[in-house]
Amino acid sequence: MNRFLLPLSIFVVVVGFLGIGLTLNPREIPSPLVGKAVPDFSQPQLYDREKVLSPADLKGKVWLLNFWASWCNGCKTEHPVLMELAKSGEVPIYGMDYKDQQDEAMAWLRRWGNPYPIVGVDEAGRVGINFGVYGVPETYVIDKQGVIRYKQIGPLDPDTVAKKIIPLVKQLESQ
């Protein structure tokens, strides 16, 4: 090959990568926890501080864990989608109220509706750190054995729910 073509070939490769780069989101960080056991926690429940929410109690079923907060804008965008999904009864969504005030969180759920059978409280953000949460909302799909199967970063939208979450849940249910 002509050595004078070398710069051009390198450039073509770089442009190819830059082109692919345009379709990617550099802020979305894949979780190393997918495929691993769900980190254990035992957090007080929002509506009953005496009781706890813990993955151990949810073994044997497929469930979603949704990190949210009343101060988070993306959560409001996502909320109708969660309400819809909860209504469909496809899969239970457990909530984790992340770094929030109890009264504000309750007021928020009163106002926009409550899709969660149980909401845990993570006041200090520790559970969030164990889940590798770096921005709310984030949603995890957890299978019957307590293994994380999928992580949604940012708000769920109807399309993702229909094309990713529901088929995945169905498949995990049948296992």
Partner 1 sequence: MIPEIGHFALILALCVALVQGSLPIYGAAVGNSALMSVAKPAARTQFLLVLTAFGCLAYAFADKDFSVLYVAATSNSQLPLHYRLAAIWGAHEGSLLLWTFILTIWMFAVTLFSAHLPEATRSRILGVMGLVSVGFLLFMLSVSNPFERLIPAAPDGRDLNPLLQDPGMVIHPPMLYMGYVGFSVAFAFAIAALLGGNLDAAWARWSRPWTTVAWCFLTIGIAMGSGWAYYELGWGGWWFWDPVENASFMPWLAGTALVHSLAVTDKRGGFKVWTVLLAIMAFSLSLLGTFLVRSGVLTSVHAFATDPKRGLFILVFLAIVIGGSLALYAWRAPKVGLGGSFAMLSREGMLLANNVLLVAAMGSVLLGTLYPLFLDALDLGKISVGPPYFDSVFVPLMVPAIFLMGIGPLAQWKKASVPDLAKRLKWAFGVSLVSALTLPIVLGSWTPLLSLGLLLAIWIVTTSAVGLRERLAHVNGNSLVERLASVPRSYWGMLVAHCGIAVFIVGVTMVKGFESEKDVRMNVGETASIGDYTFRFDGAQDVVGPNYTAARGAFHVSRDGRETTVLYPEKRRYPVQNQVMTEAAIDPGLLRDLYVSLGEPLDDGAWSVRLYHKPFIDWIWGGCFIMALGGALAISDRRYRLAWRKQEPAVPVPTRAARRKVA
Partner 2 sequence: MKWVMLIILCVSGPAWAGEARPLADDPVAEARLKHLAVELRCLVCQNQTLADSNAPLAEDLRREVREMIAKNMSDQEIIEFLVSRYGDFVLYRPPLKATTTLLWVGPFVLLTIGATALVITLRRRAHTVVDVVVTDEEHRKVEQLLAEGGKRS
Q: For 58, what's the count of Cα atoms within 13 Å in the CB-facing half-sphere?
A: 26
5 binds partner 1 (CB under 8 A): yes
Query: 128 contacts which partner out of partner 2, partner 1, none, CB within 5 to 8 A by kind?
Result: partner 2
Query: 89 contacts which partner out of partner 2, partner 1, none, CB within 5 to 8 A by kind?
Result: none
89 binds partner 1 (CB under 8 A): no
Site for partner 1 in 23-62 (CB under 8 A): 23-24, 26-30
| Smaller CB separation from partner 1, 12 or 107 | 12
Query: 7 contacts which partner out of partner 2, partner 1, none, CB within 5 to 8 A by kind?
Result: partner 1
User: Which residues sit at the interface with partner 2, rule CB under 8 A?
Assistant: 29-33, 99, 124-126, 128-132, 134-135
User: Which residues sit at the interface with partner 1, rule CB under 8 A?
Assistant: 2, 4-5, 7-8, 11-12, 14-15, 17-24, 26-30
